Amino acid sequence: MNNKPAYLRGKGQGRGRGRGHTSGGVGSGDAQRWEPQNGTTLVSLKPGLPVPGTSWSTWKTPSPITTDKTEVKDNIDAFAKASSRHQEALKRHLQDFADDAESDEEDVADKVIENIFKSYSTNYDEDEDSQDDISKAQELLLHSFRSGASACLICIDNIKREDVIWTCQGCYCMLHLQCIQKWVREGVYQQQYQADLSTGTTDSGFPWFCPKCRHEYKQIECPTHSYCFCGKVCDPKFDPWLIPHSCGQTCGRGLKPSCGHSCLLNCHPGPCPPCPKMVQASCHCGKSVPIPRRCNARSWACGKICGRTLSCGQHSCEDICHPGECKPCSKSSMQPCSCGKKKASRPCASPQWHCEQMCGRRLSCGNHLCEKICHSGQCGSCPRSGIRKCPCKKTEYELPCTEDILTCGDTCGQLLQCGIHTCTQRCHQGSCGQCLQLTLKRCRCGQSQKEVLCSKEYLCEKKCTNQRDCGKHQCKRKCCDGHCPCCEQTCGKTLGCRNHKCLSRCHRGPCYPCRETKDITCFCKATKITVPCGKEKVTKPPRCNLPCKKPPDCHHPERQKHRCHFGECPPCSQVCRNKLPACQHTCPALCHDVVKVKVEDKTKKEGPWEGRRTSYIETVRKPCPPCQVPTPIECMGKHEITNFPCSGVQQYSCGKKCERQLACSNHTCQLECHVVTGAPDSRQAGENCEPCESQCQKPRPEGCTHACLQSCHPGNCPPCTTMVRMRCHCQAVVKHISCHEWLEAGPERQNSLKSCGGPCPKLMTCGHQCPNICHHGPCVDQKKCEKKVIIRCACKRKKKDLRCSERQDDEQLQCDEICEKIQTEKKEAQEEERRKKEEEEARKQAAELEEFERHIKGRRKKPRRQKEEVAEASFGEKHQRKILFFVFVVALVGFAVYIFSM
C-alpha cells in the first residue's frame, strides 16, 4: 500500500494504476524532472520531491500530477511552514555551536594572557593603580584574540590571525600589508600628480600618512615586510598559544613617558602599560622626605605650603605643594616705568610697563633727542649721522646730522615694480609710483592680446572648459592659464560603512575608508571594543567578567551575584519576605514575582504533519499564598475568644444576646451578639446597639402643662421648649415665649419679657404720645411731659420755645411797636404797587387805541416826481463810478508796458 500523500504521488501511482501506465504516470524507480520558476532544470533524487536546499514555493507543480488545484495549494503552504520551522531549528543549532567555539576561543585567550602577565606580576609590586593598568592591557589583548574584532580600515575586511599585517607607530592600528602598500602608492601618486600640474616639477620627498591617525611617514618607510609588534622578528609565524602576529619574546620597548625602564610584557599589540616599578620620589616642593612610589606616578604633593620665591623677588608662593612653575604673583607693588620717569602700583607678575611718553634723552650726536616711546636700555646712535645718499642712490654726501640731504637733480632711473622700465622723473623723495607706459600684453590663457598699461595684468573674459582634477566638473575660471585649481566641491558619496558620506573634495577613484570608529560594549557598558565604522553590525559584543548590573525585576533590592550577560537573568531564589496585604506577617515562600509558566498552544491543527501541540513560556507574577499563622479573635460582642488562621480572620458572632445597658440606664440591648462601637466600657451599650423607644414618664415642673417630647432617657428631663402665645402690654404685638423661660422668670422679668420693645402708642392729656416703651400700668403724667412747644404773637414775628410742662393754658405773646411799624410799611408798599399797576394798564390801553386808529386811516404815499429825481441822481452816480474805474485800468496797463519796455 502506498502511504505517500497526494501531493507526492503522480497519476500513475496509487489507486490501482501500474508502473508503466500510458496515461502519463512516472514509475517509482525513475528520476522525476522538476522545473523551477527561473527557467533552470534540476533532477531530484527521489520522485515527487524537490532538490534539498530549495523551498517548495519556488518550484512548479510537475506536469504529471492532476490533483485538485486548491488541495495542492494547501498542501504546498503547509509543507512550506514545516520547512521554515526546520530551518529555524537548524539556525539555532549553528548559533549554539558558534557560541561554544567562541567560549573555547576565550578560554585559550585567558590562558595566553595569564602566561604573558606572569613576568609582569613577579618583577613589580602590585597595588591598586598597577592593577588598573594591567586590566587595560589585558583588555587590548583580549580584543586581538576575538575573531572579527579587528578590521582593516582600507579594505574594511576582518584581519585574520594568519594575515600579514602592518602596525602604525602612532595609533597602533593594524592594517593588511598589501593594503597599506597600495595606500602609500596611491597617496604619493596623487601628490605627485598635483605637483606636476601646478609647478611642472617632480619631487620624490612627498610623505604619506596613516589612514587612521594621519601620522606622517617618509617614502622610504613604506613597509615591505611584516614585523611583530616589538619589531624584533620579521614575518612572525602563527602560534595558537601566542598572541596573533606576535613573536612571543619580551617586548623590551622603552616605556612612555620615558623613565629609563623597558616593557617586560611579552610582545603585545597597542601601547605599553605605564611603568609600575617602585622608586624613591620626592614631592613637588622638595620639603618632604622621599617615599617609595610607582615610577609612572612618581610626582606627588605633600600638602604643605610651597614657599618658593616668586619671579618678583619680593614674595613667596602661598599655594599647596604643586607641580611645575609657581603661579605669577597676585600682589601689587610700586614699579617704575621703562624710562624711569614715573612710578605706579602694578601687579608683581608684570613689572615691566611703559608710560607712553617720548624718551627725550639726548643722542650721542648732542644735537637731537631720542624720539622713541618709553623704553629700556641705550637709545642708540643718531639716525642722521654718517655717509648718506640722495633718494636715487647715485650721489653720496657726508654732512652733519643737522643738515638735510637734497636731491641731486639727475634722472631717478630706479627700476619700477614691473621689472622692465625705469623711473623717468628727476631724483625725488618717496616712491616712484606705478609704470604708466603702454605695452602689448597677451592674456593669461594666451588666446588674445591687447595694449594696456605695463603695471596692469590683462585678463580676457573666456571661461576654461577643461576638466578639473576630479574629472567630473569643468574649470569655469576666466582666462585660465591651464593650471586649473583643484575641485572645491564636496564628494558626498556614501562610504563603505554605509553610515557616513565622503567629506573630502571631489576626487577621482574610490573614496578613502571611513575614519570613524564605533564602540561595541557589553550589556553593562563597562567592557568595550573599538571597531571601524560599519563593522559594528557584524561584530559580537565583548565578554565581560564584571558582575551583572541589571536591576532586579522582583521586589528584592539586589539580585544574586552573577556575571554580566545579555538576555534574561536566572530566576530569583531568595525568600519573598513581602509583607502580606491583610496582616503584619511576611511571606515565607520563595520569590514568585517573575515565574515562568508553560502555556499550551490551543490553536487548531493545520494537518497531521504538525504532530503534537506546541507550548510556549509566559512570565507571570504570582500572588503570595494565604497566611496560615493562628490568630486569636474575640467575638463581635466581646463575650468569648477563638483562634483562626491569619488569612481567614474575620468578625464573628457568638449567638448570645448583647445585654449591654442602654443609654437610658433603664433597659438593656436585646439584639444578638454584634459589633459595638463608641462604648466607654464592656457593660454599656454602643452607638449601634438597639435604641430605647419607650416614652418618657417622668413628672413635669409645677405650672408646665406640656409632656416631655423625648423617649426614655437617663437623668432629668430637658427644659420645656414649648412656646406660649401672649400679647404685649400695649396690645399691639403677639409674643411667643418658651414655657421654661416664663416659669423661671419673676414678676419684673415677666414684665420685660411681655414688653414688645416699641414706643407706647397711648396719648397723654396734653395730646403728646407717651415717651416710654411698651410698659405695664398707666402712662406718664402731663406735668412731666418734656416735649418742646413754640408760642408766637399775633403777627407771627415774635416766637418763644417752652416745655410742654411749663406752658400755661391759652398763653400767647403780645405785639410791640416794631410789629406795628412793620405792618404800616407793608400796607404802604402794597398801595404803591397797586397805583403803578393801574398807570401801566392805562398806558397800554392808549397805545392800543392809537394803533387801531392808524390801521384804519392807512399810510400816506410820496409824490411820483420825487421818486424820479432820486432815481436820476442814483443813475448819475453809477455812471461816474464806471468812468473812473475805466480810466484807472488804462493807466495801469500803460505803466506796465513802460516797465517791460525798459
CB atoms within 10 A of CB 814: 8
- Position 760 scores a pLDDT of 85
DSSP letters for 213-276 = T--EE-GGG---S-B-TTS-SBSPPP-TTS-TT---SB--PBPSS--S-B--SBS-SSPPPPP-
Query: Who's near 188: CB < 8 A, 6+ residues apart?
Result: 206, 208, 219
Query: Who's near 214: CB < 8 A, 6+ residues apart?
Result: none
Please report whether residue 260 resides in a domain. yes
What the block records as the C-alpha cell of 387 is 655717509
Please report whether residue 768 resides in a domain. no
With contact defined as beta carbons under 8 Å apart, do 357 and 374 qualify? Answer: yes
Enclosing domain of residue 156: 137-197+206-276
Please report whether residue 674 resides in a domain. yes
> Among 236, 260, 276, which residue terminates a domain?
276
Please report whether residue 172 resides in a domain. yes
- Position 854 scores a pLDDT of 81
- Position 875 scores a pLDDT of 53
Please report whether residue 168 resides in a domain. yes
Q: How many Å apart are CA 47 and CA 59, to the nearest integer?
A: 14
User: Whose grid coordinates read 548590573?
Assistant: 549
- Position 65 scores a pLDDT of 37
> Among 645, 676, 694, which residue terminates a domain?
694
- Position 32 scores a pLDDT of 34
Q: How many Å apart are CA 868 and CA 855, to the nearest integer?
A: 29
> What is the rounded (10 degree) CA torsion for 222, 224, 227, 232?
-90
DSSP letters for 362-381 = B-TTSS-B--SBS-SS----
- Position 641 scores a pLDDT of 85
What the block records as the C-alpha cell of 382 is 643718531
pTM of the model: 0.37
For the chain, the domain total comes to 2
> Among 694, 715, 742, which residue terminates a domain?
694
- Position 7 scores a pLDDT of 34
Query: Which amino acid type is present at position 600?
Result: E
| Helical residues (DSSP H) of 164-218, grouped into ranges | 177-198
Kindly report the CATH number assigned to the domain that includes residue 217: 3.30.40.10
Secondary structure class of 320 (helix, strand, coil)? strand
Query: Which amino acid type is present at position 332?
Result: S
- Position 109 scores a pLDDT of 56
Give burial (CB, 10 Å; 0-12/13-18/19+) of 681: exposed
DSSP 394: S
Please report whether residue 851 resides in a domain. no
- Mean per-residue pLDDT pooled into runs of 10, the chain (902 residues): 37 36 34 34 34 34 43 74 78 58 52 59 47 60 58 82 88 88 85 67 73 88 89 87 84 84 84 82 86 83 85 83 85 82 81 81 82 82 81 83 82 87 88 88 89 88 88 89 87 88 86 84 86 84 86 88 88 88 85 86 66 76 87 85 83 84 79 83 78 79 82 82 85 84 82 83 79 80 75 78 73 78 85 88 86 73 50 57 78 76 62
* Residue 164 CA: distances (Å) to CA of 5, 355, 535: 57, 70, 20
- Position 858 scores a pLDDT of 65
With contact defined as beta carbons under 8 Å apart, do 368 and 384 qualify? Answer: yes
Q: Which among 461, 546, 533, 477 is positioned nearest to 500, based on CA atoms?
A: 533
Q: How many Å apart are CA 572 and CA 558, to the nearest integer?
A: 10
Please report whether residue 344 resides in a domain. no
DSSP3 helix / strand / coil % (the chain, rounded to 5): 25, 15, 60
Q: How many Å apart are CA 244 and CA 288, to the nearest integer?
A: 48
With contact defined as beta carbons under 8 Å apart, do 391 and 407 qualify? Answer: yes
User: Whose grid coordinates read 406640656?
Assistant: 706
Please report whether residue 679 resides in a domain. yes
- Position 134 scores a pLDDT of 61
Query: Who's near 489: CB < 8 A, 6+ residues apart?
Result: 470, 473, 505, 506
Widest pairwise Cα distance in the chain: 177
Q: How many Å apart are CA 96 and CA 744, to the nearest integer?
A: 106
- Position 142 scores a pLDDT of 60
3-state SS record for 114-155: HHHCHHHHHHCCCCHHHHHHHHHHHHHHHHHHCCCCCECCCC
Q: Which among 163, 189, 191, 188 is positioned nearest to 177, based on CA atoms?
A: 163
